[in-house]
Amino acid sequence: MARMECQYEPDVLTMVYTGQWPERAPAELRAHVETCALCADLATVSLAIDEANAAPHVPALPSSGIVWWRAQLRARQEAARQGVRPITVAQAAFLAVVGGVSGAVFGATTDWFQRVLQRFGGVIGDGVAWVRSLELPSLPSLVLPADMPATLAPYTASLAIVAIGVALATAVVFWALREE
């Protein structure tokens, strides 16, 4: 098929895209478009495309009944989510207690677990002996005040464990109450 071109095509396109076709187009260009089938088709199609692109897009809005129904549904879901939070916190606390008690019972009643702990304690004891050989200041002297009564010093490990437990419980409660 032979390629058909006209020297006035760019001029016709320019007039259409700048919004000057056909009112403000030169008379000789309008006369040419009336005689040239290619330019007439180009002007007609380009003008239709330009008008279609210029038409404002109006989004389809749902009916007021659907908007109300969705708002009611969202409110119910939010109320349900708020009502479940205390249950979630209680479940998390229950699982933490069950896990702690189970671990304590398991650790206290299983002989092989006690042997593993003793071996592990021996390895840790060797590590502690090595650290002490470095002649570093002791941890209580770094952390605890010098005027602390000697009767409280043995309980510092227990206090540290309680502090870690409180931090973990706070993290569990924060996790259970976070917004999703």
Regarding whether 162 and 112 lie in a shared domain, the answer is yes
Regarding whether 50 and 88 lie in a shared domain, the answer is no
* Structural domain contains residue 172: yes
Overall domain count for the chain: 2
Q: What is the pLDDT of residues 131-144, one digit of tens each?
A: 666 665 555 555 55
pLDDT at 140: 55
Cβ burial of 27 (10 Å; 0-12, 13-18, 19+) is: exposed
Regarding whether 105 and 44 lie in a shared domain, the answer is no
124 pLDDT higher than 80 = no
Compute the average pLDDT of residues 112-134.
72
Regarding whether 108 and 34 lie in a shared domain, the answer is no
How far lies 15's CA from each of 4, 11, 27, 37, 102, in Å?
21, 6, 12, 17, 84
pTM of the model: 0.31
* Structural domain contains residue 72: no
* Structural domain contains residue 78: no
Q: What is the pLDDT of residues 66-89, one digit of tens each?
A: 999 999 999 999 988 888 888 888
pLDDT at 73: 94
Compute the average pLDDT of residues 124-137.
66
How far lies 33's CA from each of 125, 134, 150, 171, in Å?
100, 99, 107, 78
Regarding whether 114 and 42 lie in a shared domain, the answer is no
* Structural domain contains residue 141: yes
Compute the average pLDDT of residues 161-169.
82
pLDDT at 76: 93
pLDDT at 60: 82
Regarding whether 173 and 89 lie in a shared domain, the answer is yes
Amino acid at 48: A
Grouping H, G, I as helix, E, B as strand and the rest as coil, residue 111 is: helix
Q: What is the pLDDT of residues 31-66, one digit of tens each?
A: 888 898 888 888 888 878 877 777 777 778 889 999
Q: What is the pLDDT of residues 141-154, one digit of tens each?
A: 555 555 555 555 56
* Structural domain contains residue 18: yes
Distance CA 13, CA 15 (A): 5
* Structural domain contains residue 22: yes
* Structural domain contains residue 28: yes
Regarding whether 47 and 89 lie in a shared domain, the answer is no
Regarding whether 121 and 42 lie in a shared domain, the answer is no
Regarding whether 163 and 119 lie in a shared domain, the answer is yes
22 cis-preceded (ω within 30 degrees of 0): yes
Regarding whether 114 and 47 lie in a shared domain, the answer is no
Read off φ and ψ for residue 69, nearest 5 degrees: -60, -45
* Structural domain contains residue 73: no
pLDDT at 109: 73
Question: Residue 43 is part of which domain span?
Answer: 9-54
Compute the average pLDDT of residues 152-178.
74
Residue bearing the bigger pLDDT, 102 or 127? 102
Regarding whether 173 and 88 lie in a shared domain, the answer is yes
